[in-house]
Homo-oligomer: A and B are copies of this chain.
């Protein structure tokens, strides 16, 4: 009887899409405005879904307070009000596309959430563009 619990969080960050092995021209062609050398930014909305059995003693899959704190410490503190390209270890050498940010967030949280739970991450870059991992 598996139930999924979803917690929504958010962080604001600057980023730039860029492949350093390409010419400036090719970068502009592929990434368009998102390649702006001076960065732009987003209000990222994050949904973390944890799936598991209901604990009969608490009636909960996981404590949402715990999940909310985990997201705050592991994700918001790392990325909120940051320049993803310049201020974070994770995107020093990885293009901070929504896809890559979503996978990175999954990898960070996967190490903190017990293996008996399934984990899924959805990341909104804008209300009209969003990604999910694993799909």
Contact = CB atoms under 8 A, between A and B. Distances in A.
Taken together, the copies of this chain in the complex come to 6
A4 B41 contact: no
A9 to B, nearest CB: 7
A12 B57 CA distance: 24
A19 B103 contact: no
Interface string A74-91: 000000111100110000
Interface of A: 1-10, 12-15, 17, 19, 30-34, 36, 38-43, 49, 51, 54, 57-61, 63-65, 80-83, 86-87, 94-100, 102-103, 118, 126-135
14 contacts: A4-B135, A5-B99, A8-B127, A12-B41, A12-B126, A14-B14, A14-B38, A19-B59, A36-B87, A38-B82, A39-B39, A43-B126, A58-B97, A59-B95
